[in-house]
A and B are shown apart, each in its own frame.
Chain A
Amino acid sequence: MVSDSFQSPYVPNTDADRRAMLDAIGVDSVDELFADVPDGYLNYDLDLPRGLDELELGRYAAELAATNCVPGEYACFLGAGSYRHHVPAVVRQIASRSEYMTAYTPYQPEVSQGTLQTAFEFQSMICQLTGMDVANLGMYDGSTSMAEAALMAARITRRERVAIVDSASPLYREVLDTYTQAPGLAVDTISASDTRIEDGTACVIVQQPNFFGYMEDLDRLSKLARESGALLIVSVDPVSLGMFKPPADYGADIVVGEGQALGVAPAFGGPYVGLFACKRAYVRQMPGRIVGRTVDTRGREAYVLTLQTREQHIRRERATSNICTAVALIALMSTVYAASFGRRGLRRIAELCYHKAHYAASLIEGIPGYSLPMRGTFFQEFVVECPLPPSEINERLLNLRIIGGLDVSGSVENGMLVCVTEMNSREEIESFAKALGEFGGGG
């Protein structure tokens, strides 16, 4: 029988190749090439499992994946910054083309026009969605986009306070705290109804729709920021911009957001793409990669990474950020997604989410013991005040193959944040409402 001794399928060198190369190098053994390692510090002790063949690993991975409860097989009403939307097959097909998937960062524009041109498409779409002048090629996720926007506002205004409206995501707020701790920026939590902010505030940050799904009064907050010389930073859900007016219409200076909703799988939290757009005047303070259009030596149009002097590889400790990732592949998915739906389709998706969420809310509001404590306009998420702790309800919902909304009882007593998108069928919504009625309904 043929031996099954281990050979990595990812390494072409055979022992004969190695021998030939070591001879050419002029050494007897590979150990001589590691002679610079101090004596006694070569440590081959490696307590790892043995390698699995493709059949074994495929089975093991499938087994792990199968222990997860998968939305789709379960009705799922979770949102809170990661949203389930239908992703057309064309998105995955194009993003898995190896010309995009296995290309390097486009530092060499002559052999990267595919990546660069799609990046230019992405920037254009983000500008069109947000109404802003310029956009970059993406940050790690929506939360780091927001934190980097706060640092950028501090650079522009030369101020050291940041005000954030208390209805923003608590997860995003934690990331803001991580990023602002070292530069020593004070973070003030304000209410959307506040009429003044601290002197010396660099920016007012607001999430739209807010963490609880409701629309904030951007006119008011914009005025509040302007009167104090602070910039307005708005963190958006891009799908909501299929129907709602963009932040630019309210005078936003920087618009950030989570791009995942545009064609990217929830994937247990990543990879996603942080959206980042701003007014033209601030472009040289932006973090991240930016692609621009220019010409080649023969006058033909082409695209190139530009304004690179902002970045770490040139400005080092004085760079606008340490980021050198562009999340280009995820940005490509969002670009193909937005192109597939187009102007009419994205509006349609936004309206579907709106109508379905409102249908769900109307059913739940009608159940004795349940209420909607918040007033105003919401998009696809809303908070339900439950008669029992949401954790208990969610546990019982799981038996019915329903993953309930997020427990937000830290913010609203017995509060559950419910998200409904086009992925939730009428049957799912009605079963969910019926189940809620059975768990503690009837007051």
Chain B
Amino acid sequence: MNPEGLKYSREHEWARSDGSGAATVGITHFAQDNLGDVVFVELPDVGEDVVQFEKMGEIESVKAVSDLYSPVSGRVLERNEALTDSPELVNDSPYGDGWMLRVEVSDSSEMDGLMSAADYTAFLDAEA
């Protein structure tokens, strides 16, 4: 369920390194399932900096608002504008079309501190 090759945070965000210093960021299947129908995503502008484990935006379902925490630090290169009109992409495809940001990672060692898919699955089991 949680794809291999991605890195996962305890706040249920994921990061996928593209091998050239940038990473794509989103929320996990578990997170979107818990939130229910996502209706709005607020993300930082391109060019803003995000900091690992700090708030990078907000995600709303019909009757809840949750903070989004960045799994990596760096400058925002791109954000998924499709989420403006189609926030349901986060539900339908959390690891694909529902991605949120592309970030120029300022410290690649931060990625090493995140969990592997197997570790994250074990983390979820322990939480349950």
Contacts and interface: CB of A to CB of B under 8 A. Distances in A.
Do A and B actually bind?
A: yes
Interface of A: 284, 308-309, 314-315, 318
Given A309-B62, A314-B64, 4 more contacts: A309-B39, A309-B61, A309-B65, A315-B65
B35 to A, nearest CB: 12
A interface majority secondary structure: helix
Nearest to B59: A309
Contacts of B60: 309
A321 to B, nearest CB: 15
Contacts, number: 16
A318 B55 CA distance: 15
Nearest to A308: B63
B40 interface: yes
B40 A284 contact: yes
Nearest to B42: A284
A281 to B, nearest CB: 11
A309 B59 CA distance: 10
**What 5 A-B pairs come out closest when comparing CB atoms?**
A309-B60, A309-B65, A315-B65, A314-B63, A314-B65
Contacts of A309: 39-40, 60-65
Interface in B32-60: 39-40, 60
B33 to A, nearest CB: 19
Interface string B52-81: 000000001111110000000000000000
B63 to A, nearest CB: 6
A134 B18 CA distance: 42
8 contacts: A309-B39, A309-B40, A309-B61, A309-B65, A314-B63, A314-B64, A314-B65, A318-B65
Contacts of B40: 284, 309
Contacts of A318: 65
Contacts of A284: 40
